[in-house]
Amino acid sequence: MWNIPDSFLLSQALNLVKESIHISKDFYIHRIGETSIRCRLISPRSLPFMIPSVSNPKDFSFVKTSDEMIEVPIILHFHGGGFISGSPEFHELYLRPWAIQAGAVVVSVDYTLAPDVKFPIPVEECYYVYNWIMNGGLPGIIPTKIMIAGDSAGGNIALGVTFKAILNNVPKPNSLLLAYPAVNMTKSVTPSKVVFSNDPLVPYQFMSLCLESYVPYGLDPSTEPLCSPYHATDDLLKELRGIDIIFINAGLDPLLDDSLIFSKRLKENDVTCSDYLFKFLPHGFLNLKNLSSAKDPNKSVNEIIANSFKKDFIQNHNIYYPKMKDDIDNNIIVI
């Protein structure tokens, strides 16, 4: 039993700075006969239904203390880390600005890591949280929109949760944000994986370790779209229609080709997608600061998320970035 602790990743991060925010606290979702799921709630405003936990004052519980109702967008976030590392706290570097810029309540799930568990446990835990939110788990909140967001391994889980909701006839989220997602869980070879095989954050050996740790022995990922969304059937992909899907890709990422091909398949099935390619940035750049003297990429992503909650965003997203140029058949915004 092992996981890579956050300190391993923190040692490679550059100048981590968290913005101040009104609420950033843990809470637990209790399941009958199963382990509780720890989540992190991040909010730019006070929430009247939060009270300190009896067992741990640093945590809190939800209790409806008044008839006050708050209309606010919800971002349900699944962190990256190759399924074997990471935590909501490590990703607060960018989650706090998301909450502030979008005026949203962020719920980030601390799902159980591999190899302590394998697929489908992390997907099932995150799906449970999604159902909890959809069924009024946050008392006093009326979600105006729900975005499911995930980076890297979290992007994989975000798609798995969405597919599971579709298969179970549960209402779909309004939008999906997939940052450099791990959509293909087979040991396929692509040009980007070859060119960036020595990537400092996700070298080939690390990707192989993640696959072996997460995918159960004997499972062919190409037969299970909740594990490997890249291999979903066209019929299942068509069920994603009506969801605004946003891809945040990095130009120096081993996973880039898989993400672009998956996005292309979605568009071929008439699924609305917006693709943003940060051409000279590496995998995991949301967790890194001051990578260049150019415009802060995190600020661009913050604006993309905030604008995604506007009704006309998908049809008119170019107006927010007049200096961007179109690439690859005018389907990808290169930043």
pLDDT by position in tens, the chain (length 335): 555 555 444 434 433 456 788 788 888 898 989 999 999 999 998 876 766 555 665 556 666 666 778 889 999 999 999 999 999 999 999 999 999 999 999 999 999 999 999 999 999 999 999 999 999 888 888 889 999 999 999 999 999 999 999 999 999 999 999 999 999 999 999 999 999 999 888 899 999 999 999 999 999 999 999 999 999 999 999 999 999 999 999 999 999 999 999 999 999 999 999 999 998 899 999 988 655 545 678 888 888 888 888 754 333 333 222 233 344 444 577 76
> Is the sign of the CA dihedral 273, 279, 282, 284 positive or negative?
negative
Return the bridge partners of 77, or none.
108, 149
> Is the sign of the CA dihedral 16, 110, 224, 220 positive or negative?
positive
Locate 310 and state its tokens. 């506007």
Q: List the domain boundaries for the chain.
A: 6-334
User: Long-range contacts for 45-49 (Cβ within 8 Å, ≥24 apart)?
Assistant: 45/72, 45/103, 46/22, 47/23, 47/105, 47/140, 47/141, 48/140, 49/138, 49/139, 49/140, 49/141
Q: What is the pTM of this model?
A: 0.88
Return the bridge partners of 177, or none.
149, 246
Select the CATH number that applies to the domain covering 6-334 from these four: 3.60.70.12, 3.20.20.100, 3.30.1440.10, 3.40.50.1820: 3.40.50.1820
